[in-house]
Amino acid sequence: MLALRPLAKERARGAGGKLAELLAGHRGVPMSGYMPIRSEIDPLPVMAEASAYGPVGVPVIVGKGQPLVFHRWTPDAAMVPGPFGATVPALADAMVPQIVVVPMVAFDRGGGRLGYGGGFYDRTLAGLRERGPVLAVGFAFAAQQVEAVPTDATDQRLDMIVTEAEIITT
């Protein structure tokens, strides 16, 4: 595992500052974050803060071609291995978020998002949006921005994108 230099550790810890700033205006609204995998930006400190004000969930993959479900998460929740290397709460306490923080491989400033290719978030956001208003917030490092993400009719656009440097309204 790559060891982070002290300055890199400080930057990694502070990467959620803009996300925390955005979510402070939505305290108590049910939200979901995610358990970071690979080199994804880490939302866990911000999720922990949000959990003091309202329910926080994490996505759980039910099966190929299915939308995600969300299980309630707390900073001290027992976690177990889930699909694709992300951990999930051991206790399956379902919840429905009104704010969905979405990880990304790449994004563009128009709300286009490139994920890992399973379409899970697209199906999930489409279903949630049919039920009512949902704020879809992409969370990534600024370096993950590209000129344009290729999209098709099934892709769900993000309402906002948050990086360590800025909040982008799409």
Q: Which residues contact 123 (CB under 8 A, 6 or more apart)?
A: 65, 66, 67, 68
| Residue 9 pLDDT class (50, 70, 90 cuts) | very low
Q: Give pLDDT tens digits for 54-72.
A: 999 999 999 999 999 999 9
Rounded CA gap, 146 and 68, in Å?
26
pLDDT in tens, 71-129: 999 999 999 998 877 899 999 999 999 999 999 999 999 999 999 888 999 999 999 99
Residues 11-27 have pLDDT tens digits of 444 689 999 999 999 99
The residues near 15 (Cβ < 8 Å, ≥ 6 apart) are 41, 42, 141, 164
- CA–CA separation, 9 and 130 (whole Å): 40
CA distance 123 to 11: 33
- CATH of region 6-169: 3.40.50.10420
pTM for this predicted structure: 0.89
Q: Decide if pLDDT at 49 tops 80.
A: yes
